[in-house]
Amino acid sequence: MNKLIIAIDGPAASGKSTAAKLLAQKLGYVYLDTGAMYRACALAAKRTGISMDDEGALVELMKDIQLEISFTASENQIFLACEDVSAEIRKPEISMLASSISRLKIVRERMVELQRRMGKEGGVILDGRDIGTVVFPDAELKFFLEAPVELRAQRRYQELLSKGQSAIYDEVISEMKQRDLQDSSRALAPLVAAEDAIIIDTADYGIDALAEELYRHYTQRIEGQKSIRLAPYSGFCFGVRRALQLALDAAKEYGKIYTLGELIHNPQVVEEMANKGVIAAKDTAALQEAIVVIRSHGISKEQLEQLSAGNNTIIDATCPYVKRTHELIQKANEEGYPVIILGDPRHPEVIGIKSYGDENTTLYEPGQELPALLGKKYCVISQTTQKLENLEALVNMLLPLCNDLKIYNSICLATRQRQNASEALAQESDLMIIVGGKNSSNTKMLANLCRKYCECLHIETEDELEESLFKNKWRIGIAAGASTPENRIIAVYNKILKINGSTRFASKLDDIPLFKEESC
């Protein structure tokens, strides 16, 4: 593979020059300090007594300037008319003049021309303030390094002292703030991060760690392919798979059957099922003497009674985990425990669970205020797709208020496994793609969990994916909700491969690299 052009931009003392040198040494690349070139121009103007406002004189200076750069293993040597000025251009007054002179069109045009000539063959790392936006906008790898101005001033202050130069911290930070303002507000090539730059706050890194972080991004880029991994336990859970199979078997036998509400929270699957004779009905009143499949979420006790009264043939596909919550709440009522149900009060599963309670049953949605308690005795039951942390938080709030607290952890094992695996993958990814119905509670929960660790996109189909989403995203994770079919996961994976230029695609779920379970 051809050697890359690597652009590293950022404000003064953000660490870009030192990191660039270390990375260049590691890669065997040439390091080009473009800022030194502008400093050399400023020094040339100062020596000849040219004002920064005298554009005509500066034009002539740029025509005749004798600027040469010698590349060593660790640094650039800058020569003006054969004189090594590498040390002199680092003085603070030259830094300020460099900021001023770099705002001029003639100076930038001349220096950009030289920089492009030096770097066009690749295998070069350039640092500056407009490398990724102006000099090499098509650079294969771009970084923008930043840090708080106080930290950058302290770095520059220590650097000056280490070189035996006199320095006052207050003056250093004042000059740095002024230069930041000049660089970011100039009309021509202002200091700004390129849209596709990888932004790194160097306050979080030592210099060696920073160089390693740049190298990590380089190795991902040079490999030429993105890492795309699937979280274990993605896709249909046992309850959904069972409900779909029962519905399909019934449709084959009877020709046309009904479900009360959508069988699962996935619009594409519901449409496919409708084409096979499985029709979603909106209410029980419309169902008389029909074949009715109760969906995996379950239904309320009142709806079940209405279906029976309509002389319907009922096929119960309620998920066993959900069915257990119906039994638990009735048992708690019999034992005299008022029940608090943890979950989304709008979700059909929660509506169904509540119907099996009594007048003392209340709902608690995560993040809401705790309902008023009727006494010191309570039972807690959870929606099966809730997050374990939500259950723990509710229990912790209740413990000081109750002297008799019964807790049923009714969160299904598959949900916990899926959530844990997705979170673990998110921590190792630059981008997570969560596949599943936008109205799916457990899929939305996955997206919310993964957003804590990286950028996350919740989609229903591969058609929602665009090339721009994957710029500088080299570690891509995929996770899918309990109502997402395998063919949809495969289609999403193949779309990412296609965007990345691959011509080999997955034909089955096993073809997709799985995030190792031992890592979860």
User: What pLDDT is stored for residue 494 in this prediction?
Assistant: 95
Q: How many residues does the structure list for the chain?
A: 520
Count CA atoms closer than 13 A to 514's CA, side-chain side.
15
For the segment 199-218, what is each residue's pLDDT rounded down to a tens digit?
A: 999 998 999 999 999 998 88
Q: Which residue has the tokens 């706050």?
A: 201
Residue 225 has pLDDT above 60, yes or no: no
Q: Do the Cβ atoms of 29 and 124 come closer than 8 Å? A: yes
Which has more confidence, 53 or 305? 305
pLDDT at 327: 95
What pLDDT, on a 0 to 100 scale, did the predictor assign at position 73? Answer: 55
The hierarchical CATH code for the domain 238-315 is 3.40.50.11270
Burial class (CB in 10 A: 0-12, 13-18, 19+), 336: exposed
Tell me the average pLDDT of the chain.
Answer: 90
Confidence of residue 1 (pLDDT cuts 50, 70, 90): very low
Instruction: Specify whether the backbone of 311 is left (phi greater than 0), alpha (psi in -120 to 50) or beta.
Output: left
Q: What is the value of pTM for the model shown?
A: 0.56
Q: Assign 409 a pLDDT band (cuts: 50, 70, 90).
A: very high
**pLDDT band at residue 519, thresholds of 50, 70 and 90?**
very low
CATH architecture of 228-234+414-519: 3-Layer(aba) Sandwich (3.40)
What's residue 282's pLDDT?
Answer: 85
Domain borders along the chain are: 5-224, 228-234+414-519, 238-315, 321-411
Average pLDDT over residues 476-497: 94
Average pLDDT estimate for 403-421: 92
Choice among 146, 175, 349, 460 that is catalytic:
349
- Rounded mean pLDDT, 310-333: 94
pLDDT at 518 exceeding the cut of 60 = no
pLDDT at 520: 33
Instruction: Check if 5-224 and 238-315 are the same fold.
Output: yes
Q: How many CB atoms lie within 10 A of CB 324?
A: 16
Taking the C-alpha atoms of residue 515 and residue 432, their distance in angstroms, rounded to an integer, is 13
Average pLDDT over residues 409-426: 92
Q: Are 344 and 390 in contact (CB under 8 A)?
A: no
How far apart are alpha carbons 458 and 464 in whole angstroms? Answer: 9
Does the pLDDT of residue 228 top 70, yes or no? yes
Annotate 271-319 with DSSP letters as a single string: HHHHHTTEEEES-GGG-SS-EEEEPTT---HHHHHHHHHTT-EEEE---
The pLDDT score that the predictor gives to residue 183 is 87
- If you ran DSSP here, which 8-state letter would residue 463 be given? G
Banded model confidence at residue 14, pLDDT cuts 50, 70, 90: very high
pLDDT at 178 over 80: yes
CATH number of 5-224: 3.40.50.300
The architecture in CATH of the region 321-411 reads: 3-Layer(aba) Sandwich (3.40)
The C-alpha atoms of residue 432 and residue 477 are separated, in whole angstroms, by 5
511 three-class SS: helix
- Mind listing the pLDDT tens digit for each residue in 322-358? 999 999 999 999 999 999 999 999 999 999 999 999 9
Digit-coded pLDDT (tens) for 130-154: 999 999 998 989 999 999 999 999 9
Strand order in the sheet with 76-80: 67-71, 76-80, 83-84
d(CA 46, CA 99): 13
Is-catalytic flag, 389?
A: no
